[in-house]
Amino acid sequence: MHENLVQQIKHDPNYKELVSKRSSFSLKLSLSILVVYFSFILTIAFKPELLAITISDSSVITIGVPVGIMVIVFAFILTGLYTRRANSEFDELTRKIKDKINE
């Protein structure tokens, strides 16, 4: 019975759509944060003078501080985007799969 249920779910078009959309969206978000993060790290490694510029003449805070904070905020934004889509579109597809199985 259990193997039959697994096969039934795997062949459901809603399941295939869910896996495809979720994987594609996750990959795009992952690549986005990796590009931003590694750009920041590589800038620190190879061009630290870019991030060492002070915000103003009277400030001791460099541009690197807000840029680093922006990297963290960007990660939170991407997490929010994924959660929002997961709670709407992905959950709806999951519900359709469950409903079809329970018929």
What residue spans define the domains of the chain? 35-103
Q: Which pTM does this prediction carry?
A: 0.84
Residue 7 CA to residue 25 CA, distance in Å, equals: 25
> Over the stretch 43-52, which tens digit does the pLDDT of each residue have?
999 999 999 9
One-letter identity of residue 58: S
Other Cβ atoms less than 10 A from the Cβ of 53: the count is 9
Average pLDDT over residues 81-88: 96
Is the model's pLDDT at 80 over the cut of 70? yes
Report the residue count for the chain: 103
Query: Positive or negative CA dihedral for 3, 11, 20, 14?
Result: negative
Tens of pLDDT, residue by residue over 12-69, are: 999 999 999 999 999 999 999 999 999 999 999 999 999 999 999 999 999 999 999 9
